[in-house]
Amino acid sequence: MKTFISLLIFLSIGTSNEPIVELPIGLTQNEMLRIHEIYSMGRETDPPPSPVRNVAEYERMQGVLIRYPFGISTEIISEMSEDIIVYCLVSSNQQSSAFNALENGGVNLDNVEFVIGSTDSYWTRDYGPWWVVDGDRNMAVVDFTYNRPRINDNEAPLKMSNHLEVPFYASDIVHTGGNYMTDGLGISASTDIVYTENSIPDEDVDSLMQDYYGIETYHVLDDPNNTYIDHIDCWGKYLSTTKVLIREVPESHPQYDEIEETAEYFSNSLNKWGEPWELFRVWTPGNQPYTNSLILNEKIFVPITGGSWDDEALAVYETAFPGYEVLGFTGSWESTDALHCRTKGIPDLRMLQIIHNPLNDGSEPDINGYSLDVLFDDLSGTGLIEDSMKVFWKTPGADTWDFHTLSRSNAPEEQNVWIGSIPAIVDSGSIQYFVQGADSSGRIEKSPLAGWHTFFAHPTEACDEWLVGDLDNSGELNILDILLLSEIVNDNGFGICPQSISDINNDDQITVVDIVFLVNIVLNP
């Protein structure tokens, strides 16, 4: 039996020997009479140094925050502990019970850290810390005031900041994590309780969200579900910087019109790159909690009900996340309270950030192919490994990936931006690709974290005017063209145009024979 020494147990503030009081996700009658206490729980600091970037759920996580007694099964916790640290909020007098429950549930105890402190409920999503990368390139906690008069829960962000020894900032906004989603690039969304629960003008809320979280575009909508909880994770979420998920219901559903209006709203809004969101819909005819999922690195945890629509819901996630592992779990789920509500990701504090606008079906090739601009930034501060910045691509069904090494941009304003291309193709077809880099801390990171991006490649017309054999497009055939053709024959060629005009003898192959033909043409024009 493993001992407590095998665990990393850290003491934090809020240690208590009082018995745990379990509170519901909604307000109790007593709490309704004490709503005013919420506004006395807040704390406020100066905002983080700018620029501030709010970390998204689908970025690299080093752990996940839960509490004891658990709101999720040990089966789920065991799956999480295979890859990351499980941070467990627990009161000091319950620590032994928590340890035994985790051990008996087959959890990898080497990946468990106890954070000592009382809690009032297990909705760590709602009261847990929000994370930003501040202007000093530090991962930091930015706190808000929990929208429940629950002192213990409200202390969780500060406890995690102390536990992980990261900077702590606090805004005096009343908010809740279940009513918040962000793309990680300055766009976020909530229902309008973020306005109604704050006693300041709406525009002041927006301003504080920008100062403390770096949110430039804040979508605040009526709750289409029209439920008591008014949380956005009950009906939608950002899946990436380009994808968004919204629930779907039959026309007979009482909220059909409102949900469809919400889906249309997001389909008509633009992502960070100025492009329409790719909209995914998940069928929830019985108010199934399928949108209340947790993205945790290369795994997607989806709450399922054991019903006939589970497989279809999982298939939606598999389509949206090609190459990821999509896992369904039953539990004591409700339409207003499921897996996402009871967990909270903890980012990799020294992550290798990769920011990239994925190629899509509308992307146009130039003479070099499909251009890529990728930002790599190592929060570890150890330095990037320059020859590790690569793009990998293949057609669906191909056994191997081709790749090119990316080059650092020469533009002074584009520090840590790397550029390159995926070669265009003569015929149309789908291309799968991902970008990858490494830093000296040992981190090797991909974008996306698992699987690949996919886009439909169109044949380029940019090469139509190129003369056969004129590989440098100079207007004449010369020795340089011979040298370039040699590179292409040796699989060092780059760009669709040179390749499209390299079959000198027109035998549908590019070989040394084409070099001989081109030499003869150059010598005997």
Q: Which residues are catalytic?
A: 341
Strand (E) or helix (H) holding 513: helix 512-523
**In whole angstroms, what is the distance from residue 505 CA to residue 498 CA?**
15
Whether 189 and 224 have beta carbons less than 8 Å apart is answered as no
CA distances from 319 to 30, 339, 429, 449 (A): 45, 21, 18, 15
Whether 266 and 278 have beta carbons less than 8 Å apart is answered as no
CA distances from 479 to 77, 177, 483, 486, 521 (A): 65, 64, 6, 11, 11
- Residue 389 bridge partners (DSSP): none
Chain-centroid distance, C-alpha 506: 47
CA angle 516, 522, 525 (to 5 degrees): 120
DSSP for 75-123 reads HHHHHHHTTSEEEEEE-GGGHHHHHHHHHHTT--GGGEEEEE---S-S-
Which burial class, exposed, middle or buried, applies to 65 when counting CB atoms under 10 A from its CB (0-12, 13-18, 19+)? buried
Strand (E) or helix (H) holding 191: strand 187-191
